[in-house]
Structure 1
Amino acid sequence: MGSQGRPLLNRRLAEFGTTIFAEMSALALSTGSINLGQGFPDTDGPEEIREAAVRALRDGRGNQYPPGPGVPELRAAIAGHQQRYYGLGYDPDSEVLVTAGATEAVAAALLALLEPGDEVIALEPYYDSYAAGIALAGGVRVPVTLRPADGSYHLDLDELRAAVTPRTRLILLNTPHNPTGTVLTREELAAIAELACERDLLVVTDEVYEHLVFDGEHIPVACFPGMRERTVSISSAGKTFSFTGWKVGWVTGAPELVTAVRSAKQYLTYVSAGPFQHAVAEALRLPDSYFTALREDLRGKRDLLVDGLTEAGFAVYRPAGTYFVTTDIRPLGFDDGFAFCRALPERCGVVAVPTAVFYDHREQGAPFVRFAFCKRRSVLSEASARLKALGPA
């Protein structure tokens, strides 16, 4: 307890302990297990991009505070990327903001755009930082649950519409979706766009897995009629270029939205990753062949792990995108993902994450477990072999 008998931790954060990723990664280290829990690659991205960072360091580019909105070269490259892949035109000077990864971008957007009591609709299960960001801003989470059926997860558009109230301020989207691997379709996104326009809602969209789509296609919601002026689009370099430790993310949107987000962001990190910004500017200009090869490599790894999990007895939901595959542990005789994941390292030397941590409705996610496949093929093969020893409880 603190002074006056108050708890030390702000009550808005009281429900959030240590993240599950820290807990499970520590368990992986202490048991020597294969860590398929946290979504980071076990090999670095392109050598020429790493060398670009070294070159920037040696040349003194970014070693001191970079400009608050991001280095001009990176902002121009981000705008060029949005035009090249989606036909979205953004002004690098007024409509692009560089952040300390997508996590900061989401947090800054929520802090900037929410007043206490505003409702935020998010697709459940959702990445854990979303809930913390909404809480810090004083917002109210309103989960709309993606439900598993026929081998994948699905959004109920009627449920989404019913979740909107006069207090709804924004919809927080994530597509391709972590942890389910769902990629929202053109029809679903059009319906979301129509709803946002009809009810005058803002949309904050996390698109960090934009280049990791194996089935279907990624379409930014900002592309739909009426959405450019009400959408804060977020992405980052970590997942696309396999340099997750660099923490270079970005926001694109109309000038008023980007200015609002920058107003919050400048009091979080102010600036970050100066030399890496220069390297990411070069990375975003890599030829299409790089992005195609990345996707095809991960598609093969997805299929390798999906086959291994299926042979081990899991019910598997094949992801259409991202780094992750969600499984149902009930065919193995388990129904508690937390207990399963905490026992898994001792049972067979593999670490996964219980999907229930991504739910407000914990019971909805209780029997589901998430594995990451952004690892070397030899690691995935070894993990699959170990998991086959599981057998029913």
Structure 2
Amino acid sequence: MKTTKSYVAKSVENMAPSGIRKFFDLAATMEGVISLGVGEPDFVTSWSAREAAILSLEKGYTSYTANAGLLELREAISDYISERFYVPYIANEEIIVTVGASQAIDLAMRAILDPGDEVVVVEPCFVSYVPLVELAGGKAVTVETTGEQGFKLQAEDLEKAITPKTKALLLCSPNNPTGTQLDREELQAIADIVKKYDLLVIADEIYAELAYDLRHTSIASLEGMRERTILINGFSKGFAMTGWRLGFVCAPRELAAAMLKIHQYTMMCASTPAQYAALEALQTGMNDVEEMKKAYRRRRNYFVQSLNEMGLTCHVPGGAFYVFPSIQSTGLTSEQFAEQLLVEEKVAVVPGSVFGKGGEGYIRCSYASSMEQLQEAVKRIKQFLEK
């Protein structure tokens, strides 16, 4: 018997699919495409980390770990966060190993939000932020940043967006898609507003290791902020471990306990071999991280200079592996530019509009590609503009 009734939840039915995947899937059907679209390192996970995963399998470590993750890994994460970013966390009470940083953000949202609670989201932003707020029953209140300001959140703009229903600020630095990195002084101005209105910060710091000109500052390290910050990080970007799907969340005991409840029922635990690989990466992989960062910095400098020389105004991103050039001079929308560039020159980029209204007029390009591919991409983009 047929029915016209929809069994899909309204919150999901009304949700737009990822704009990033749209262009990636289209590019995958074409030959000879240079993809600058997907935010994934082009480096392979270090051999020592891969070998640790293999060894764990050979030893038969194929059972569940503790829900929060291997204690040895959580202890290593505690040491890592304390030594690198100067924030202390108790391994067996305040750290949860998650299935990627994305799951950590989902846990945070579901643990803190009641229906109607508001979360301030800084745009342009990663495509999952607003949907994750809404799936948790909250309301995303977006604050736009501008290219003229280097896409940096201004404290006064944050304050204007706060209402009695505001519960948290979702902040990403270094940022996806703009690459913008906030320095200590800029973070302090934001922290002052957060404390003034008694808010939480969900700090997505997945690109913390990929900061090129300034050492990364965690907002949780500022005075009075550790107790009101849910710190998100992981191994995908800095350690080139995207496919392992391993992240972690650090938070005060009460918040961590709430997130662990949800994690227990929805995910049980992260992959055991992946956790052993991550443990090895933290213990022996920092030299690989530094070498990867040097390569990214060279590519960034070349790509930004090339884009500016061809008339696509682009600020120098402080971190991550993205550039976010303006294409407004072409008279095309972000989506028109991306589609025509893909069809005519076989270069895949992501239209800035998928990252929020503030991204219209820009495109996101990842420079996590070889220098040879970047040089060819620059050649093709220049040809496209000359047409």
Q: Same fold (TM over 0.5)?
A: yes
Contact 1:312/1:390, CA 8 A, preserved across alignment: no
How far apart, CA to CA, are the structure 2 residues paired with 1:216 and 1:65? 39
| CA pair 342-266 structure 1, distance change in 2 beyond 3 A | farther
Deviation digits for residues 133-181 of structure 1, max 9, x if unmatched? 101111111111111117x322221111111111101111111111111
How far apart, CA to CA, are the structure 2 residues paired with 1:154 and 1:201? 20
| 1:123-138 equivalence runs, <5 A | 123-138=122-137
Contact 2:20/2:354, CA 8 A, preserved across alignment: no
Pairing 1:190–2:188 present? yes
Please provide the CA RMSD for this pair.
Answer: 1.8
| CA pair 228-392 structure 1, distance change in 2 beyond 3 A | same
Aligned partner of 1:215 in structure 2 is: 213
Q: Structure 2 unaligned segments of length 5 or more: list them.
A: none
Aligned partner of 1:175 in structure 2 is: 173
3-state DSSP class of the match of 2:110? helix
Q: Structure 1 unaligned segments of length 5 or more: list them.
A: none
Q: Which moved more, 1:95-104 or 1:183-192?
A: 183-192
| 1:228-307 equivalence runs, <5 A | 228-286=226-284, 288-307=286-305
Please tell me the residue identity of whatever aligns with 2:36.
L
Aligned partner of 1:18 in structure 2 is: 17
3-state DSSP class of the match of 2:325? strand
Deviation digits for residues 198-252 of structure 1, max 9, x if unmatched? 2111111100000101122311111112111111100010101112110100001
How far off is 1:183 after superposition? 0.8
Q: Which moved more, 1:11-20 or 1:381-390?
A: 11-20
Aligned partner of 1:364 in structure 2 is: 358
How far off is 1:3 after superposition? 8.9
Aligned partner of 2:328 in structure 1 is: 330
Deviation digits for residues 304-357 of structure 1, max 9, x if unmatched? 2223323443222221110110011122x2331112112222111110001111
Aligned partner of 1:75 in structure 2 is: 74
How far apart, CA to CA, are the structure 1 residues paired with 2:29 and 2:306? 25
3-state DSSP class of the match of 1:214? coil
Match of 1:354 among 351, 371, 375: 351
Match of 1:310 among 308, 311, 314: 308
3-state DSSP class of the match of 1:391? helix
How far off is 1:5 after superposition? 4.4
How far off is 1:4 after superposition? 7.4
Q: Which moved more, 1:347-356 or 1:34-43?
A: 34-43
3-state DSSP class of the match of 2:289? helix
Aligned partner of 1:153 in structure 2 is: 151
Report the TM-score when normalising by structure 2. Answer: 0.95
Q: Percent identity?
A: 33
How far apart, CA to CA, are the structure 2 residues paired with 1:3 and 1:90? 55
How far apart, CA to CA, are the structure 2 residues paired with 1:130 and 1:4? 34
3-state DSSP class of the match of 2:211? coil
3-state DSSP class of the match of 1:371? strand
How far apart, CA to CA, are the structure 1 residues paired with 2:360 and 2:381? 20
Q: How many residues are paired up?
A: 386
Please tell me the residue identity of whatever aligns with 2:239.
F
How far apart, CA to CA, are the structure 2 residues paired with 1:15 and 1:344? 29
How far apart, CA to CA, are the structure 2 residues paired with 1:267 and 1:355? 36
3-state DSSP class of the match of 2:284? coil
Report the TM-score when normalising by structure 1. Answer: 0.93
Please tell me the residue identity of whatever aligns with 2:367.
F
Aligned partner of 1:49 in structure 2 is: 49
Deviation digits for residues 241-281 of structure 1, max 9, x if unmatched? 11211010000111111111112222332222210101101
Contact 2:36/2:366, CA 8 A, preserved across alignment: yes
How far apart, CA to CA, are the structure 2 residues paired with 1:357 and 1:267? 32
How far apart, CA to CA, are the structure 1 residues paired with 2:47 and 2:308? 35
3-state DSSP class of the match of 1:97? strand
3-state DSSP class of the match of 1:170? strand
Contact 1:105/1:265, CA 8 A, preserved across alignment: no
| CA pair 364-130 structure 1, distance change in 2 beyond 3 A | closer
Please tell me the residue identity of whatever aligns with 1:52.
A
How far apart, CA to CA, are the structure 2 residues paired with 1:3 and 1:175? 50
How far apart, CA to CA, are the structure 2 residues paired with 1:239 and 1:58? 27
How far apart, CA to CA, are the structure 2 residues paired with 1:127 and 1:14? 20
| CA pair 143-83 structure 1, distance change in 2 beyond 3 A | same
Please tell me the residue identity of whatever aligns with 1:35.
S
Contact 2:48/2:284, CA 8 A, preserved across alignment: no
How far apart, CA to CA, are the structure 1 residues paired with 2:141 and 2:42? 35
How far off is 1:369 after superposition? 0.4
How far off is 1:287 after superposition? 6.2
Aligned partner of 1:139 in structure 2 is: 138
How far apart, CA to CA, are the structure 2 residues paired with 1:327 and 1:237? 27
How far apart, CA to CA, are the structure 1 residues paired with 2:265 and 2:304? 43
Please tell me the residue identity of whatever aligns with 1:79.
S
3-state DSSP class of the match of 1:17? coil
How far apart, CA to CA, are the structure 2 residues paired with 1:190 and 1:387? 39
Please tell me the residue identity of whatever aligns with 2:372.
S
Pairing 1:320–2:327 present? no
